[in-house]
Structure 1
Amino acid sequence: MKGQRVLVFNSDAFAGHATPPGHPERLDRLAAVERGLVGLAVERRDCPPGDEADVLRCHPGAYLARVKAAVPREGWVQLDGDTFLSPGSYQAAMRAVGGICAAVDAVLRGEAMTAFVAGRPPGHHAERETAMGFCLFGTVAIGAKRALDHHGLSRVAIVDFDVHHGNGTQDLLWDEGRCLFVSSHQMPLYPGTGRPEERGAHGQVLNVPLRAGSGGKAMREVYEGAVFPALERWKPELLLISAGFDAHADDPLAGLEWQAEDYRWLTDRLCDFAGGRVVSSLEGGYDLDALAASVAAHVGAMEERGR
């Protein structure tokens, strides 16, 4: 499998998800991601439209219908304090779903070892029946269920290194005994969940809170001491990453003080698991230069592993 390129999934539809002026989760983020990918050996693929059946593995039909019905003809509709729908938001969110499912399919078919879905809106805050934190559908959780239910895997793991706790992913997979969910995140911070005692219905949830200002050294220690041993015990057949880059020192929404090199180190180490089969999906990251540098480090580490 050496010499394979990282598959990068994106879509023109993501530009149709418009947010109000000044909103952190803005279209300019995709241009920053593209800057981060310059010079890397990647294979581009378009995100297909998502199948509602995949969404329904995690969200009830009434919620899906409610999101579709709320899409405005023009302007914005506000679903919560910071989550908005524009006329193209539903199509963008469904392309993100289609992208994660296509990435899982491709990696499990052996077309590549690693894939990165450069989509928006993000997904890890979306709970079963609640859109929040910029998120509409639980993209990575949907990808995990695709691997388990469609491909018949028995052990999947998700690592969420976004600076905010992945409350939505935890909610969607709380009862899913086939999926280990690990989240490292700043605490205290939005959304206020992610305490170590939140363990999942089968003890398959691992939350590792980090203090503001603790930096990359503390992150490396907690991953070496807690996260990597948990992954080793779990022996996942596929590893999914909720790749939020808002723990970077320059990000305006938090204060963990990571650097781009921390993302390179962490990504490289995560590729040691699941036989190197890794699917990553973009979550946060709101300083554009930091986002570009972090994506370059993250995807660059996956690209180096494929050489």
Structure 2
Amino acid sequence: MTVILYSHESARRHVTPEGHPEQVARYDAVMAALDGLALERREAPLASDAELLRCHPAGYLQGLRDAVPEAGTRQIDADTHLSPGSLEPALRAVGGACAAVDAVLAGEARRAFVAMRPPGHHAEAEVSMGFCLFGTVAIAAKRALDHHALERVAVLDFDVHHGNGTQALLWDEPRVLFVSSQQSPLWPGTGAVSERGAHGQVVNLPLPPGSDGGLARAEWRPALERMRDLAPQLVLISAGFDAHGDDPLAQLDWDDDDYAGLTRDILDAAGGAPVVSCLEGGYDLDALGRAVRAHVTTLMETER
């Protein structure tokens, strides 16, 4: 099956301080892992302000632009930094996600993967945090709803850290089912089962430290059945690969096959709906590359 890959070399220009886990080498590891796969490769376009304003106020956008340093890096959060080249790839991450939504809904392909950095699922409406500047997947969901007039969208997040930003941005959105699995306890400290959204459309799946991908897939099963019953018109994935047992920032014990297996479970439950997956975390370079390749090669499988 054709999968469209959206990427852009500007991802190498978002520079973080030496030793920072969200480093330029992550993009290189992902692109090397995808080398040789029969993907339809497209440049991720820049997002317009109109797209960003679906989730972020104008003052926030201007504040980020004003904060970009002329040289070096500037810390804007406990672990989030800007460099002179940071905004372009962040805008292309959003633009790539929106272009992917347009492409799969137009029938150009059924699946797409957006390989950009920085990640996005921790960014709240007016807060940059957790390496994230813009709520990439939430913005893509809003485009699907408001531009394409969809009525049922599923957003699934299997990053090891809770997608607090995506949850906050979609909290009041009854047309989106948001499901997130995450290690608990772990930063940012959100993602309790009791956090259910304004319309009961949020499902959180806390996972204990040391647990493996088998437990995770079992916990995901009822949520994916709920998605199957919803019959979504589009599935968006926040694809973080930091639940891997080799990752330095958390204590879950997934392996490469777990990512392939969970991806296959998602595709089976999607019921033929188009799928767009966007890169989030993953900080051991070797594990990131292997897990991304397992995820994307599974996206390439023929629908069952």
Structure-1-length-normalised TM-score: 0.97
User: 8 Å contact 1:242–1:283 — kept in the other structure?
Assistant: yes
Q: Which AA in structure 1 matches 2:2?
A: R
Alpha-carbon contact 1:116-1:280 (below 8 Å) kept: yes
CA deviation after TM superposition for structure 1 residue 232, in Å:
1.7
SS at match of 2:300: helix
Of residues 246, 250, 254, the one that matches 2:246 is 250
Tell me if 1:289 matches 2:283.
no
Give the match's secondary structure for 1:110: coil
Report which stretch shifted further, 84-93 or 228-237.
228-237
Task: Provide the residue aligned with 2:33 in structure 1.
Answer: 36
- Shift, 1:274, TM fit: 4.8
Among 290, 293, 299, the residue aligned to 2:296: 299
1:83-232 aligned within 5 A: 83-224=80-221, 226-232=222-228
- Contact 2:228–2:271 at 8 Å: present in 1 too? no
| Residue pair 2:76, 2:128 contacting (<8 A) in 1 also | yes
Give the Cα separation in 2 of the matches to 1:147 and 1:27: 30
Q: Shift in Å at residue 305 of structure 1?
A: 2.6
The 8 Å contact of residues 6 and 306 in structure 1, kept in 2 or not, is answered as no
Please give the per-residue CA displacement for 1:6-60, whole angstroms capped at 9, x wherever unaligned: 1000011111111000000001011111222133221100001111111100111
Residue 269 (structure 1) shift: 1.5
Deviation at 1:306, TM superposition (A): 5.9
- Residue 69 (structure 1) aligned to one of 66, 69, 83: 66
Deviations 1:248-294 (A, max 9, x none): 00000001100010000111121120524100000000000100110
Q: Distance in 1 between matches of 2:293 and 2:302?
A: 14
Aligned-residue CA RMSD in angstroms? 1.1
Deviates more, 1:146-155 or 1:229-238: 229-238
- What does residue 266 of structure 2 align with? 270
**Letter matched to residue 227 of structure 1:** A
- Cα distance in 1, alignment partners of residues 38 and 271 from structure 2: 22
CA contact (8 A) 2:233 2:273 kept: no
Gaps of 5+ in 2: none
Report the TM-score when normalising by structure 2.
0.98
Tell me which amino acid in the other structure corresponds to 1:82. D
**3-state SS of paired residue (1:305):** coil
Aligned residues: 303
Q: Percent identity?
A: 59
* CA distance in structure 1 between the partners assigned to 2:10 and 2:291 by the alignment: 23
Secondary structure at the aligned position of 2:180 is classed as strand
Work out whether 1:234 is the aligned partner of 2:230.
Answer: yes
1:228-250 CA-partner distances (Å, limit 9, x unpaired): 12212222100000000000000
1:54 partnered with 2:56: no
**CA–CA separation in structure 2 for the residues paired with 1:235 and 1:126:** 28
Task: Tell me the distance in 2 between the aligned counterparts of 1:40 and 1:259.
Answer: 21
State the 1:97 CA deviation.
0.8
